[in-house]
């Protein structure tokens, strides 16, 4: 019985699951897939996850989607160190609070910046109207401000002295706009210091390995064939620009 | 939990997430007080409330000095702290994972489209603001896709979203799916499978469901009374 993980490291939630599994020496069969190739729409992938998103896992016969659900499941099954998802009720609630909030805040705004600054102009060859770009930057900044003021405050990590799933999910999302060439840490020394701590806790080698694809995105996009992205184009433009 | 002080819930029952919290508190007989915060009056933006929750959002739970935001986190906290029946948030990892999977997916799928419909079809007209019919059409189409997934990926042939019993997933989903009733729209009316599911959830929750949703019914009355007869006809 083996654990299969379906991941594309361009995707933020795939990175958090990948890092979590590797950091905790969880053995898995790495099913590397490409979102840009459209694998998530294949019949084969439909047997794993009909929600057509990544990440997804298959543990024996048990299939599961959603990175938060996956990591909570793995934490329980593999008895990972307590600090990732504390047994203490209030600390656990703080992790859940962040994991919930981030869906409609940093995740959306960070994702959008990556599409707006890189993929839509460079791979889809469509220009983003200035007003939409300015609003997107403003939204991301507002989320980062809340992150620093409410979730981080003066603590080393979100929940306290130790890294948790909250920090892991936060860092992979915050790195997404970095992949588009946006230095989110500029003029944010507190955020930078937290990022350095998180990277050190995860292990620089593992962190960098997981982020290799996204940090290479600006180069990768130059060799991307716009024709391959044609089937995505209407859906993406409708989602982001209508 | 003898000797434990009641929790305090800051709620506005116009909000889907707030209704889920209230229903959970009542259904599980968790001692609580409610402080009503009226979003329409901007009470979530006062300096006092902002101090409590810098995100200026609802619901908020206060448990003897411990302040918690985000309905997912609040429900999971209450389920554990008050040792409620296991079906709400099962301890068995595979069953728990299914609930976690839905509560995560809910944010960027059910909730976001429902909130948009409420904005475009409910709030904007009620406030006398200009509406954007093409945006509403787009959101309704997006919601349709979401409802397909709800039926075929989550519910399938089960009585409830995550299995044989009601869970936090059903509670959150049903409160979301009730929201468009505010503008007189029953988004489940052509989906018998989801209609049956909603009935099962309502039966399981009985009084607490109706009590929490009385605000929705009131808004629907106000909405249909305010609009012209031909628009009323179109939305019913």
Partners of A238 on chain B (C-beta within 8 Å) are 138
B172 in the same domain as B117: yes
- Convert the pLDDT of each residue in B100-121 to its tens digit: 999 999 999 999 999 999 999 9
Residues of B in contact with A12 (CB under 8 A): none
Q: CB within 8 A of B48, min separation 6: which ones?
A: none
pLDDT band at B236 (very low <50, low <70, confident <90, very high): very low
User: Which of these, B71, B78, B65, lies nearest to B26 by C-alpha position?
Assistant: B78
Q: Does B101 fall in a domain? A: yes
What's the start-to-end Cα distance of chain A, in Å?
46
Residue B55 lies in a domain: yes
CA angle A189, A210, A212 (to 5 degrees): 85
pLDDT of the residue at B197 = 98
Q: Judge whether B38 lies within some domain.
A: yes
Verify that B70 and B161 share a domain, yes or no: no
Enclosing domain of residue B20: 7-84
For chains A and B, CB pairs below 8 A equal 90
Whether residue B59 is found in the same domain as residue B99: no
Partner A contacted by B73 (CB < 8 A): yes
Question: Is residue B182 situated within a structural domain?
Answer: yes
- Provide ipTM, 2 decimals: 0.95
B47 and B100 co-located in one domain: no
Contacts of B101 in chain A (CB under 8 A): 64-66, 69
Whole-number mean pLDDT of chain B?
Answer: 92
Full-model pTM: 0.94
What is the DSSP pairing of strand A62-65 with strand A29-32? unpaired
> Structural domain tally of chain B?
2
Q: Which residue has the higher pLDDT, B130 or B96?
A: B96
On the question of pLDDT at A146 being above 50, the answer is: yes
CA distance A148 to chain B (A): 11
Shared domain check, B40 and B127: no
Residue B76 has pLDDT above 90, yes or no: yes
B187 inside domain: yes
Is B44 among the domain residues? yes
Which residue in chain A has the smallest CA separation from B150? A51
CA distance A157 to chain B (A): 18
- With respect to residue B234, please indicate whether it lies within any of the assigned structural domains: no
List of domains in chain A: 3-80 (3.40.30.10), 89-241 (1.20.1050.10)
**Which of B84, B110, B134 lies at the terminal end of a domain, its last residue?**
B84
The reply to whether B44 and B148 lie within a common domain is no
pLDDT at B128: 84
Query: Average per-residue pLDDT in chain A?
Result: 94
Between chains, do B105 and A64 touch, taking CB under 8 Å as contact? no
Final residue before a domain boundary, out of B66, B84, B102: B84
Confidence at A1, pLDDT banded by 50, 70, 90: low
Nearest CA in chain B to A61: B94
pLDDT score recorded for residue B22: 98
Rounded to 5°, the CA angle A74-A2-A59 comes to 45
Are residues B191 and B75 part of one domain? no
Evaluate whether residue B173 is within a structural domain: yes
Whether residue A144 is predicted with pLDDT greater than 60 in this model: the reply is: yes
Does B95 share its domain with B202?
A: yes
Are B19 and B74 found together in one domain?
A: yes
| B39 pLDDT above the threshold of 50 | yes
Same domain, B26 and B71: yes
Which helix (DSSP H) or strand (DSSP E) does residue B108 occupy? none
Give yes or no for a contact between B44 and B37, defined as CB atoms under 8 angstroms apart.
Answer: yes
- The pLDDT tens digits for A174-187 are 999 999 999 999 99
- What tens digit of pLDDT does each residue of B177-200 get? 999 999 999 999 999 999 999 999
């Amino acid at each position: 019985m083996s654990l299969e993980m379906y991941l594309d490291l361009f995707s933020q939630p795939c990175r958090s699951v990948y890092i979590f599994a590797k950091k905790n020496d969880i053995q898995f069969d790495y099913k590397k897939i490409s979102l840009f190739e459209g694998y998530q729409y294949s019949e084969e992938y439909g047997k794993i996850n009909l929600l057509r998103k990544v990440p997804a896992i298959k543990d024996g016969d048990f299939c599961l989607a959603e990175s938060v659900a996956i990591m909570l499941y793995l934490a329980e099954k593999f008895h990972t160190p307590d600090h990732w998802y504390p047994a203490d009720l209030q600390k656990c609630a703080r992790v859940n609070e962040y994991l919930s909030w981030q869906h409609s805040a940093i995740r959306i705004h960070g994702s959008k910046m990556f599409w707006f600054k890189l993929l839509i102009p460079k791979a889809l060859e469509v220009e983003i109207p200035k007003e939409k770009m300015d609003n997107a930057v403003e939204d991301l900044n507002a989320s980062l401000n809340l992150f620093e003021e409410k979730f981080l405050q003066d603590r080393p990590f979100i929940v306290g002295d130790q890294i948790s799933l909250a920090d892991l999910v936060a860092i992979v999302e915050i790195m997404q706009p970095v992949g588009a060439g946006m230095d989110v840490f500029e003029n944010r020394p507190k955020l930078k210091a937290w990022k350095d701590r998180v990277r050190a806790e995860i292990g620089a080698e593992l962190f960098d390995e997981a982020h290799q694809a996204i940090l290479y995105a600006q180069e990768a996009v130059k060799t991307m064939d716009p024709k391959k992205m044609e089937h995505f184009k209407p859906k993406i433009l409708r989602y982001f620009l209508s | 939990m003898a000797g434990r002080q009641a929790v305090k819930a800051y709620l506005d029952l116009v909000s889907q997430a707030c209704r889920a919290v209230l229903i959970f508190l009542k259904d599980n007989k968790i001692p609580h007080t409610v402080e009503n915060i009226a979003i329409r009056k901007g009470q979530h933006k006062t300096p006092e409330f902002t101090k409590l929750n810098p995100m200026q959002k609802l619901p908020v739970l206060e448990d003897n000095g411990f302040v918690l935001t985000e309905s997912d986190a609040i429900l999971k906290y209450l389920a554990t702290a008050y040792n409620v029946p296991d079906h709400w948030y099962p301890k068995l990892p595979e069953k728990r994972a299914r609930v976690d999977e839905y509560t995560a997916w809910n944010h960027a799928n059910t909730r976001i489209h429902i909130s948009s419909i409420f904005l475009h079809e409910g709030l904007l007209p009620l406030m006398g603001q200009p509406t954007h019919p093409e945006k509403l059409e787009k959101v309704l189409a997006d919601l349709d896709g979401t409802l397909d997934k709800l039926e075929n990926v989550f519910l399938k042939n089960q009585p409830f979203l995550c299995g044989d019993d009601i869970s936090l997933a059903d509670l959150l989903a049903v409160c979301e799916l009730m929201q468009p009733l505010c503008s007189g729209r029953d988004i489940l009316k052509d989906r018998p499978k989801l209609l049956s599911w909603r009935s099962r959830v309502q039966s399981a929750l009985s009084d607490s469901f109706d009590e929490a949703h009385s605000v929705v019914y009131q808004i629907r009355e106000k909405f249909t009374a305010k609009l012209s007869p031909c628009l009323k006809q179109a939305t019913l």
